[in-house]
């Protein structure tokens, strides 16, 4: 990421300046490509993956919520507790609340289950029986919401604790009608510190859940939140736990596939993966000499150690046909006569189609895992070189950059397969073409990275530039937002 670009972003959105530090970190993590030439900078302005977000902790999120609560309190003169209920009900849309308040202030509160729709008869007697425990109690140790249904404080407490157990907080109703009791009354009722803390925590969860611009980081025990400017299915990198996820669905980031499709795909994979795993066993035979070959690197360009035959891991075809010519093995060729075949054959064809895409998806996922190993090896190699006085640490950084870019491209590549699987014909040819182009460059880069002593820095930078451009082209053309 160039600095020029960050500045332009700041000038567009003055509000983002307060989060400048976070922003820099996030974008740098993702786009760090120290040696990129100036020419790339201008292209980045229309980077289809660029997305503005900040990682915040729960205190910061609470501040955001509280500001809106105070605003509503002042504007329509209600208690904080009521304002919070209204905001949760209206997904934090203050405009909607104020508009409704202008039109029908009483209606707003009735619909929000804050006041009863019919006036209530207040009990006048000093002592009464609690309708839940049937104990005699005085007015001073009973509580009621605005509906006037009075119960003794002990019963209220037992009730609230039970409701908390089933996960309710802002949704706790009166024991006799559906009026909401709200935060103020709940905290007055709940005496124990643990219960109060639990209530606050659940209430905060409710607040987060309905806020359209804030969501929890899905990382294990992360506890941080992400806040965006416009809610979109884009990439979030948590600066706390390094999880990478989609803002809209919270699943692993899945561009260019959309949230709905990736969910369908992942469900399908869960159902079918055992069969597929069995079929895509870990080894293949060399198509030339028949030696058993285990894939232990990320690159699909294989070279048999025994016979030196170059072939493609995906299609087992000769690698020569993959080099300069049209790279085709990311494209699934369906049988054109399929409509005329029997149901059995059609089912087999459907399974074949699924396996085709699944195998590629899985293959890239595996490669991504192995890429970690490659990265570790590169680090080791650089260390050795520096120790032997062959260049400095800085001189070899391009290798790490290349590995990082390779992982990024492979990640996108992996998520093109679910997209392709569910794609209707129409633009499929173009998609598959671009997919193939990207795959070819990824494999080239991967190949070079595994044999870095044979290539110079210029080779790498050239290859990285091409691969990233292919990736961007594909995303620009097919990213639906």
Active site residues: 299
Interface with other proteins includes 162 (CB under 8 A)?
Answer: yes
Site for other proteins in 119-138 (CB under 8 A): 131-135
Exposure of 234 by Cβ count < 10 A (0-12 exposed, 13-18 middle, 19+ buried)? buried
CA distance 296 to 313: 11
The residue among 187, 255, 247, 210 whose CA lies nearest residue 96 is 210
Say if residues 232 and 248 touch (Cβ distance below 8 Å): yes
Binding flags for other proteins, 360-399, as an x/- string (CB under 8 A): ----------------------------------------
Candidate list 6, 158, 210, 266; residue touching other proteins; CB under 8 A: 158
Exposure of 176 by Cβ count < 10 A (0-12 exposed, 13-18 middle, 19+ buried)? middle
Q: For 18, left (φ over 0), alpha (ψ -120 to 50), or beta?
A: alpha
Min. distance of Cβ 133 from other proteins in angstroms?
5
Piece in contact with other proteins (CB under 8 A), picked from 89-97, 151-159, 255-263, 335-343 = 151-159
Piece in contact with other proteins (CB under 8 A), picked from 157-165, 242-250, 307-315, 473-481 = 157-165
CA distance 479 to 472: 10
The residue among 252, 223, 216, 253 whose CA lies nearest residue 240 is 223
Candidate list 101, 149, 211, 234; residue touching other proteins; CB under 8 A: 149
- H and E: helices and strands count for the chain: 16, 13
Min. distance of Cβ 120 from other proteins in angstroms?
15
Neighbours of 39 (CB within 10 A): 8
Min. distance of Cβ 150 from other proteins in angstroms?
11
When the beta carbons of 108 and 152 are compared against other proteins, the nearer one is 152
Q: What is the dihedral of CA 409, 412, 415, 416, to 10 degrees?
A: -90
Main-chain dihedrals φ then ψ at residue 302, nearest 5 degrees: -100, 150
Interface with other proteins includes 354 (CB under 8 A)?
Answer: no
Candidate list 175, 179, 226, 475; residue touching other proteins; CB under 8 A: 175
Q: What is the DSSP letter of 297?
A: S
Min. distance of Cβ 180 from other proteins in angstroms?
14
- Judged by CB under 8 A, the number of residues near other proteins is 14
When the beta carbons of 150 and 445 are compared against other proteins, the nearer one is 150
Say if residues 384 and 316 touch (Cβ distance below 8 Å): no
For residue 246, the surrounding DSSP H or E stretch is strand 244-246
When the beta carbons of 144 and 261 are compared against other proteins, the nearer one is 144
When the beta carbons of 135 and 240 are compared against other proteins, the nearer one is 135
Min. distance of Cβ 210 from other proteins in angstroms?
20
Piece in contact with other proteins (CB under 8 A), picked from 147-155, 183-191, 236-244, 290-298 = 147-155
When the beta carbons of 132 and 407 are compared against other proteins, the nearer one is 132
Interface with other proteins includes 107 (CB under 8 A)?
Answer: no
The residues of the shown chain that bind other proteins, judged by CB under 8 A, are: 131-135, 149, 151, 155, 158-159, 162, 173, 175-176
């Amino acid at each position: 990421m160039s600095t020029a670009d960050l500045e332009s972003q700041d000038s567009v959105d003055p509000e983002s300046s307060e989060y400048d530090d976070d922003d820099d970190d996030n974008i740098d993590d993702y786009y760090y490509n120290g040696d990129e030439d100036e020419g790339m900078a201008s292209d980045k302005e229309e980077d289809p993956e660029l997305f503005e977000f900040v990682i915040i902790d729960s205190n910061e999120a609470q501040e955001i919520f509280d500001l809106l609560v105070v605003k509503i309190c002042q504007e329509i003169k209600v208690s904080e507790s009521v304002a919070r209920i209204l905001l949760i009900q209206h997904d934090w849309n203050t405009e909607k609340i104020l508009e409704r308040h202008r039109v029908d202030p009483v209606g707003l509160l009735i619909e929000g289950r804050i006041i009863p729709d019919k006036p209530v008869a207040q009990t006048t007697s000093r002592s009464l029986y609690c309708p839940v425990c049937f104990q005699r109690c005085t007015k001073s140790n009973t509580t009621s919401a605005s509906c006037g249904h009075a119960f003794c404080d002990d019963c209220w407490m037992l009730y609230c604790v039970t409701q908390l157990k089933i996960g309710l907080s802002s949704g706790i109703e009166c024991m006799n009608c559906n009026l909401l009791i709200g935060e103020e009354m709940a905290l007055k009722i709940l005496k124990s510190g643990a219960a109060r803390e639990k209530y606050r925590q659940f209430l905060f969860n409710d607040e987060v859940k309905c806020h359209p611009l804030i969501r929890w980081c899905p990382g294990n025990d992360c506890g941080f939140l992400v806040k965006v400017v416009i809610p979109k299915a884009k990439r979030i990198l948590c600066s706390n736990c390094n999880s990478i996820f989609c803002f809209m669905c919270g699943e692993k980031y899945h561009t260019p596939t959309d949230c709905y499709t990736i969910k369908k795909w992942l469900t399908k994979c869960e159902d079918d993966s055992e069969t597929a795993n069995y079929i895509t066993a870990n080894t293949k035979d060399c198509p030339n000499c028949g030696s058993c070959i285990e894939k232990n690197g990320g690159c699909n360009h294989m070279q048999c150690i025994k016979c030196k035959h170059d072939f493609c891991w995906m299609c087992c075809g000769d690698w020569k046909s993959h080099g300069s010519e049209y790279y085709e093995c990311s494209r699934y060729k369906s049988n054109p006569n399929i409509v005329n075949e029997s149901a059995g054959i059609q089912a087999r064809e459907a399974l074949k189609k699924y396996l085709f895409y699944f195998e590629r998806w899985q293959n890239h996922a595996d490669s991504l895992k192995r890429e970690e190993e490659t990265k570790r090896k590169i680090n080791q190699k650089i260390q050795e070189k520096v120790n032997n006085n062959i260049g400095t640490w800085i001189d070899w950084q391009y290798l790490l950059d290349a590995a990082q870019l390779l992982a990024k491209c492979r990640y996108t590549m992996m998520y093109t397969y679910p997209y392709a699987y569910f794609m209707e014909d129409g633009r499929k040819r173009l998609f598959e073409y671009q997919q193939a182009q990207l795959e070819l460059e990824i494999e080239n880069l991967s190949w070079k990275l595994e044999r870095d002593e044979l290539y110079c820095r210029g080779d790498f930078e050239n290859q990285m530039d091409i691969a990233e451009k292919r990736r961007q082209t594909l995303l620009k053309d097919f990213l639906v937002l």
